[in-house]
Each structure stands twice: as structure tokens, then as C-alpha cells.
Structure 1
Amino acid sequence: MEYDNYKNMQIDICNQFHAPYLDCGWDLKLGISRNVRTGLLPVNGLRLQPENGTSGWYIWAGEEMSQDDDFFVPLHTHHVLHWCKMVIPYLGLAPGWTFLVTPDYENVWNNEALRKAATTDTAGS
């Protein structure tokens, strides 16, 4: 499958929000909540440092992220196309970046605490 068009969309989002671009790794895994497939809104994403075959992305739907151990399931990034295509433009955001989107709204920000945690985790490895 050709991902160049998606990569260009991701680079555009990064440029729009003055964020560094980091390839999402279409063959890597991300964590995603099952409720994303139901169409529940908003859809949220946060990116940690990629490691051990993961892209670092965690994506969920709704107002709050559950703390349940089974809330996130592993999914290869390329399957997001069938779960929630709306998030694809944001998957090039670097670790420490977060998004919240609906069809009519987007909020993207550099989550300083998340970025510091990602940097600290990497430095401790």
C-alpha cells in the first residue's frame, strides 16, 4: 500500500503546528481503544517514544482515558485506516505531542509533561 499521500498530510499538520515530524511506522504497532471503532467522539491521541516495535501512539475515544489494563489493544498502524481514518494526519507528530479531534474540531499541542516523561524514559534506558 502506498502511504506517501498520508505522509504529506502528516507533514502538513506538523508544519501547521510547528511540530517535528516523525514517521508513524506503518508496520509498527500502536495502542488503541476498542471504542474508537464505535465512532465515539472526541478521538484523542498521545505519542510516547517509539520502542520495541511500537510507534509510541496511544489513541482512544471519549472524554477520558480509562486506566483499565485492557483498555488499549495493539494494532498495526496501517489498520488505523479501517478503524478511524480521521487520526491519520496527526500520526506524524513527534513524541510528546497530543491531539484531540472531531470532524469539526482539532486541538494539537506539545504536551510538555508528556515530552519530559518521554525524554526521561529514553534517557533511563
Structure 2
Amino acid sequence: MDLNQKAGVSASILLGTWDWPLHGLRHPPTPGTSGWYVWAGELADEEDFFQPCHLAHLIGLDPALPRLLEGVPGSRFLIAPGHEDVWHDASLIDL
């Protein structure tokens, strides 16, 4: 995992106002981006819902995140205290 790559992250995470659960999905990476989108709570359709953030700033949110962010394109996760669900979603690969 290149911690200098960027992910799309919900504003609530960046502001430190987020609450569980924490969701993640990975599209194929592009130059400078990891393909990851990470958000807390409910996903919104707002154009500015996701903000760019380096992976290095995300890994401290939960001890499982460094391992989860190693997932290949098509990976998805949902975590909360005492809960972890990880699966593959092939629809994320063909955009």
C-alpha cells in the first residue's frame, strides 16, 4: 500500500465528526489515486461528499484499516466495533 496515494473520504471523517459504521470500496486505481472511497454512516449523493485524502491519514481511524486497505480493486468492507465484513464486488472493477 502506497500511503501517499489518495482516497475519496467523506467530509465527516476529515472533520473528525464521524460515527460508525465505516465503509470502504475500491475501484481500479488511477495515477496518484488508490481507487479507495471510505465513508462513515450513510452514503450521500452530494457532489462534494468525498474529499481527497492521503491513505496515511486514514490508517489511524481503526486498527483494521491498514490491512483492509491492502485489498485489491473490487474489495469492499464494513466495520464497526465488534464487527467486520469484507467481500468482493466485481461491479466495482468495470466502470
TM-score w.r.t. length of structure 1:
0.67
Deviation at 1:26, TM superposition (A): 0.7
Matched, 1:28 2:9: no
What runs of 5+ residues in structure 1 fail to find an aligned partner? 1-23
SS of match in other structure, 1:85: coil
Give the alignment of 1:93-108 within 5 angstroms: 93-108=71-86
Amino acid at match of 2:86: V
Q: Flag the structure with higher strand content.
A: 2
Q: CA RMSD in A?
A: 1.5
Find the structure with the greater CA-based Rg: 1
SS of match in other structure, 1:38: coil
Partner of 2:50: 72
Partner of 2:70: 92
SS of match in other structure, 2:59: helix
Moved over 4 A (4+): none
Percent of aligned positions that are identical: 38
Deviation at 1:65, TM superposition (A): 1.1
What runs of 5+ residues in structure 2 fail to find an aligned partner? none
Matched, 1:42 2:21: yes
Q: Flag the structure with higher helix content.
A: 1
> Residues of 1 paired with 2:18 and 2:82: CA distance?
14
Deviation at 1:39, TM superposition (A): 3.8
TM-score w.r.t. length of structure 2:
0.86
Work out the number of aligned pairs and report it.
Answer: 92
SS of match in other structure, 2:66: helix
